[in-house]
Structure 1
Amino acid sequence: MSDFAGIRALVTGGASGIGLATARMLASRGARVACLDLRPDGAGPPLLGVECDVTDDDAVRAAVGPVVEEFGGLDVVVNNAGAGARGTVEDNDDDEWRSVLDVNVLGTVRVTRAALPALRRSGRAAVVNTCSVAAVTGLPQRALYSASKGAVHALTLAMAADHLADGIRVNCVLPGTADTPWVQRLLAAAPDPAAELAALEARQPSGRLVTSDEVAHAICSLASPDAGATTGVALPVDGGLTALRVPHG
């Protein structure tokens, strides 16, 4: 496929997991891609790795500006950098709340804000935010994470409305539990990793974790110039979790 030929893209959290899968898929379909990440070494050629902390506005601007200059513009932003958290409202202290919201919500704000001038000049501009089914489905032990992703969901819709006149489409994906480095760390820390994995798989009607490539495919579909009439959409990639009620046994 070459639907991204000539497209210039930026992916945050782009050196691992869903971000890296997305960056590689965009590049395979013709895009030039910059991966902004705290540890960008995982983004090898043809990807451009750029060190960036999305919780630091100066650092974000210092990363986005040179990418726009290097590429001669910017057409696609994928806000994928994120932080996870477990627990009920009793379990996470204020510092952890601030930290996760700073990455998941304000990180999306900072990167999009820095990219907007270039996106307005694009003619094929698209922003895709990595949200979560936790934004729209009540999951146990995910209060902080759910709140942060609920904010990303609402922010996506507001941005889509705000920037429609600028010719910038804004959408998000809602992954279910995906086989990512963060989930692997969660499993490794569990008292019984095999039982925890089985519980995560059983939560999705498909009976398995979502793959990074499956989420990347959804992101690319929303970002593609071929999706020019699609904006303000939240696309689940969750094995049927949000829409299906399939009896077990």
Structure 2
Amino acid sequence: MSPFTDRTLVVSGGSRGIGLAIALGAARRGANVVLLAKTAEPHPTLPGTVHTAVADVEAAGGKGVAVVGDVRKEEDVQRAVDTAVEHFGGVDVVINNASAIATEPTEQLSAKKFDLMMDINVRGTFLLTKAALPYLRKSPNAAVITLAPPLNMSPHWLGAHPTYTLSKYGMTLLSLGWAAEYADAGIGFSCLWPETYVATSAVANLAEGTLMSSSRSPEIMADAAIEILSRRAGEVNGQCYIDSAVLAEAGMTDLTRYGGGDSPILDIFVDKS
């Protein structure tokens, strides 16, 4: 049996992009997936809804349930966890994927955007993980993957967009903190971040879509997440991973299948090697 057979994931922001790619990667291996996302109806500029994402999960061989909700709202997050328990008997994996980005200079950044990043990135990660913890404790191989970067304290990244950096490093610090707080609970808390830009809707909106050809596909993050979730909790707990490094450890060094051309654009917080 696959280590994903009957394993239940709760994924925030899973209607498209990296969240959906991870959900599909797990579904192909027999996992159950609960997707928490706001998009219930087709969006004029964004592909897919939480319902089409569940259809994709089931077409991939897994079992899926959609929960229409906002990761910022405690009652919606609790409903997603309760749905996982009701349909599948528990929660084994949490994927903290939902995130907001705004990189305007401080004097141009609105308070509304500041609040949005703190609420989705930090509060949402806290709420979903907290709600799932009672069930993660009962899982034979529990994991929480948070899509956040290693802490890079270079003045370049600290000064580039301080508020976005604060929100993403906040996610990382929560993961590292939980790894220590629950060190004896058998839960693997880790962070995962892309080495390069990933071809998501967020990147498509930058520079009128001209960066997409130099971005790798979301499947690279999915494959890296699957590799992490295939390891024991104690091995991954407290780690911050870069997708390409995870795959290299697993013996995959040819990344051309993920696109991006000969010189894919390095992502935020990633320095040239």
Q: Same fold (TM over 0.5)?
A: yes
1:23-46 deviation per Cα after TM superposition (whole angstroms, max 9, x unaligned): 000111121111111111231331
Cα 1:154–1:126 change in 2 (3 A) is same
- Residue 99 of structure 1 and its aligned partner are, at CA, apart by 1.1
1:179-208 deviation per Cα after TM superposition (whole angstroms, max 9, x unaligned): 1011112233xxxx53xx29xx8xxxxxx3
Distance across 2 between alignment mates of 1:227 and 1:129: 14
- Residue 134 of structure 1 and its aligned partner are, at CA, apart by 8.3
Q: TM-score, normalised by structure 1?
A: 0.84
Structure-1 residue corresponding to 2:99: 82
The alignment status of 1:118 with 2:135, answered yes or no, reads: yes
Residue 172 of structure 1, aligned match among 191, 196, 199 = 191
Amino acid at match of 2:197: T
Amino acid at match of 2:52: G
What SS is found at the alignment partner of 1:220? helix
The alignment status of 1:72 with 2:78, answered yes or no, reads: no
Structure-1 residue corresponding to 2:218: 212
- Residue 6 of structure 1 and its aligned partner are, at CA, apart by 2.4
Report the more deviating stretch, 162-171 or 220-229: 220-229
What SS is found at the alignment partner of 2:4? coil
Distance across 2 between alignment mates of 1:23 and 1:221: 13
- Residue 225 of structure 1 and its aligned partner are, at CA, apart by 4.5
Contact 1:87 1:143 in 2 (8 A): no
What SS is found at the alignment partner of 2:236? coil
Q: TM-score, normalised by structure 2?
A: 0.77
Contact 1:83 1:100 in 2 (8 A): yes
Structure-2 residue corresponding to 1:204: none
Distance across 2 between alignment mates of 1:132 and 1:63: 25
Matches of residues 29-108 of structure 1 in structure 2 within 5 Å?
A: 29-39=29-39, 40-45=50-55, 46=58, 47-108=64-125
- Residue 227 of structure 1 and its aligned partner are, at CA, apart by 5.8
Cα 1:158–1:106 change in 2 (3 A) is same
Structure-2 residue corresponding to 1:185: 205
Contact 2:149 2:240 in 1 (8 A): no
Contact 1:2 1:30 in 2 (8 A): yes
- Residue 217 of structure 1 and its aligned partner are, at CA, apart by 1.3
- Residue 93 of structure 1 and its aligned partner are, at CA, apart by 1.9
Identity %: 33
Residue 234 of structure 1, aligned match among 224, 235, 240 = 240
1:114-147 deviation per Cα after TM superposition (whole angstroms, max 9, x unaligned): 1011111112110000114686664475332222
Residue 152 of structure 1, aligned match among 171, 177, 195 = 171
Distance across 1 between alignment mates of 2:134 and 2:164: 30
Distance across 2 between alignment mates of 1:35 and 1:187: 30
Amino acid at match of 1:5: T
Structure-1 residue corresponding to 2:229: 223
Cα 1:69–1:104 change in 2 (3 A) is same
How many residue pairs match? The answer is: 231
Distance across 2 between alignment mates of 1:130 and 1:159: 15
Q: Structure 1 stretches of 5 or more lacking a match?
A: 202-207
Amino acid at match of 1:216: A
The alignment status of 1:26 with 2:29, answered yes or no, reads: no
- Aligned Cα root-mean-square deviation (Å): 2.3
Contact 2:187 2:234 in 1 (8 A): no
Contact 1:120 1:167 in 2 (8 A): yes
Distance across 1 between alignment mates of 2:145 and 2:70: 19
- Residue 86 of structure 1 and its aligned partner are, at CA, apart by 1.9
